[in-house]
Amino acid sequence: MRHSLLLTLLAASALPMGAQAIIEAPRAQIEAFNQKFEAATRHMDNAAIMDLWAENGITLLPSAKPVIGKAAIAAMMNAVTEQIKGARMDKFELRCSAIEVSGDLATEWCSEHQIVILPNGKPPFDGRGKMLLVLRRGADRKWRLLREMWSQSDAD
């Protein structure tokens, strides 16, 4: 009888624990995604950044047309890198908040602070921005960027 009660309690507790693990796992995966995104950006490693994008990704930047599709985003990033050839990222910090997940979609917003050392003795670029991100989990269970929008942060 005691043994049977123990089994019943174990069985009753198994579902909530399992359900909790299912809910929490995507958050940890998205935090791991954010670390990869931060490192790839800090290293200005466009190939590593593009690995994090979904095929049908879209990025929205101020005063620009939407850049639609992974190939177009890669071309845009390479054009920017070419324009600032010889630059390197001295600092890139990403702080993300308010992760929400449902099914294969997730969203969060992030603030970023970047210091870029520019070539030819130009003064370093020190900028702060914020981003709204939407991630999609693919058939391979990997989270990738589906939507990104950036704008500058407040002055202080």
Contact set with a second copy (CB under 8 A): 56, 58, 60-66, 68, 98, 100-107, 109, 130, 132, 134, 136, 146-147, 149-155
Distances (CA, A) of 107 to 1, 26, 149: 48, 11, 12
Residue 39 Cβ vs a second copy, minimum distance, rounded to whole Å: 24
| Closer Cβ to a second copy, 48 or 128, answer by number | 128
Distance CA 69, CA 139 (A): 18
Q: Which two tokens stand for residue 124?
A: 């370093």
Residue 6 Cβ vs a second copy, minimum distance, rounded to whole Å: 35
Residue 135 Cβ vs a second copy, minimum distance, rounded to whole Å: 10
Distance CA 45, CA 40 (A): 5
| Closer Cβ to a second copy, 54 or 77, answer by number | 54
Distance CA 114, CA 144 (A): 22
| Closer Cβ to a second copy, 103 or 123, answer by number | 103
